[in-house]
Amino acid sequence: MKLFSPSSRVGRIGSIAAMATVVALAATGCAATTDGGTGDGEGGDAQTIAFLPKQLNNPYTDVVLGGGEEGAAEIGYDSQVLGPLEASASAQIPFIEQATLEGTNVIVIAANDPDAVGPALQTAREAGAKIVAFDSDTNPDYRDIFISQVVAKDVALIQLEIISEQIGGAGDIAILSATATATNQNEWIMFMEEELASNPDYADINLVAKVYGDDDADKSFQETQGLLSSYPDLAGIISPTTVGIAAAAKYLSTSDYKGQVALTGLGLPNEMREFVKDGTVQEFALWDPAQLGYVAAFAGKALFDGTITGAEGDTFDAGDMGEITVGENGVAIVGPPTRFNADNIDEYAF
C-alpha cells in the first residue's frame, strides 16, 4: 500500500505539472502574435546595433568595444554589448538569439567558433539583421562583411619606415623577436627582409642579427644587452612584439645607449609611455583596437542602409577613419597601424 501511494501522488503531480507547462507555453506563444507588432513599432525610433565579443571582461575586448560604442554613437544607433563570461564555442549562441529576438538591426560579432555560431546567425539574418564579423571571422557564409585589423605586410613596413627615419636611412639594425616559431612575428620579419633586399631606400640598412626573447621580459632584456655588446655599431633595434619592445626600452633607458640607439616595434601605449616621455623611444607602432569596433559600427550602418552589400569593391564611409574599401571575400581592412609618439601617446589608454 505504501509503495503505491507515492507513485499515484507523483502521477497526479505529473499531470498538474504537464498542464501548467502547456498553459505557460501556450500563453507565451499566443502573446507573441499580438505583441510582435508592437515590438517592431518600438524599434522604429532608433536603429540598434549589438556587439558580441568573444567574452566579457577582457582588457583588449574592452578597448575594441569602446571604439564600437563611439562609432555607434556617431551613426546614431542604440548600442549594447552582449556576451558570455567564458569564451567557449557555443556560449555566444544565446546572445545571438537574444539580439534576434530584440529585432537588432546590426549584429557585430567576434566569433569564438567560425561555424558553431552559423545557424544562429542565419536565423538572425532571416529576421532582418545585418551581420558584421570583426576581430575573429565567422565562416563567410554567415556574415555580410569581416572587419580585419591590419594587413601583415603593412605592419612589417611601418616598423621599417620608423627605424629608417630614426637612423637616417643607414646603419646596422637588429630584430628582437618573440619565439623563433611565432607565426605572426616570422611573417612580419619575412616581409621586412624582403623589403630591405628590394627597396633602394633601404640599401644602406643592414640587418645584422635576429634574436629571440621568447616574449619573456627577462630573456628579452638580456638579449638586448647581448645585442649591444656584440654589435657596438648598432644603430637601431626593431622589436615586433609588445613584451620585447618594453624590455628593450627598459634596458636602454638605464644604459649609456639611451637616445643613441633607436628602438621601435610594436608596443602598448600604456607600457611604453614612460620610455617615450624620457626619450628612450621616439616612435613605435601598433594597431588601435578601438578602430576595429569603430569601423565595424560604420560597416553595419552601410549594410543596413543598403549602400553596400559586402561585395568586393564596395566602399563605405567610416567617420574619422575615412573611406574604406571591401576587399576579397568581403574582408575590409581597418587601415595602417597607428604610430605612437610623444605628441599623441596620452590619447591612448590600452
Partner 1 sequence: MSETVTSTSRGQWIRRLTGHDAVIFYILISVVVISMVSVNFFASTLTVGFLLIQVLPILLIAMPMALVIVSGEIDLSVASTAGLTSATMGVLWRDSGLDIGSVIALSLLVGVLCGAFNGFLITTLGLPSLAVTIGTLALYRGLALVVIGDQKVTNFPPALNAFVLSKIGNTGIPVMMIFVLIVIAFFAVLLHFTPFGRGLYALGYSPQAATFVGVRVGHSKFWMFVATGVVSSMVGIFLTLRLASAGPDNGTGLELSVIAAVLLGGVSIFGGKGNIPGVVGGVLLIGTLTYALRLAKVPETALIIVTGGLLVLSVVAPSVIAWSKERIRLNRLHREVPGQSASGETSA
The C-alpha cell at 16 is: 498538474
For the CB of residue 101, give the shortest distance to partner 1 in the complex, in Å. 5
Beta-carbon contacts of residue 119 (< 8 Å; ≥ 6 apart) = none
For the CB of residue 147, give the shortest distance to partner 1 in the complex, in Å. 23
Residue 12 is a binding residue for partner 1 (CB under 8 A): yes
Name the strand (E) or helix (H) holding 69.
helix 59-75
> Are 241 and 175 spatial neighbours (Cβ–Cβ below 8 Å)?
no
Name the strand (E) or helix (H) holding 122.
helix 118-126
**Which residues 127-186 are close enough to bind partner 1 by CB under 8 A?**
127, 139
Candidates 108-116, 129-137, 183-191, 334-342: pick the segment binding partner 1 (CB under 8 A).
108-116
Residue 208 is a binding residue for partner 1 (CB under 8 A): no
Q: Which of 53, 67, 68, 118 touches partner 1 (CB under 8 A)?
A: 118
> Are 263 and 252 spatial neighbours (Cβ–Cβ below 8 Å)?
yes
Nearest-CA neighbor of 28 among 125, 107, 101, 80?
101
Determine whether 181 is exposed, middle or buried from the number of CB atoms within 10 Å of its CB (0-12, 13-18, 19+). exposed
Candidates 30-38, 45-53, 153-161, 185-193: pick the segment binding partner 1 (CB under 8 A).
30-38
Candidates 22-30, 206-214, 225-233, 302-310: pick the segment binding partner 1 (CB under 8 A).
22-30
Chain contacts with partner 1 (rule: CB under 8 A): 2-3, 5, 7, 9-14, 16-18, 20-21, 23-25, 27-29, 31-33, 35-36, 39, 42, 56-57, 80, 83-86, 88-90, 93-95, 97-98, 100-103, 113, 115-116, 118-119, 123, 127, 139
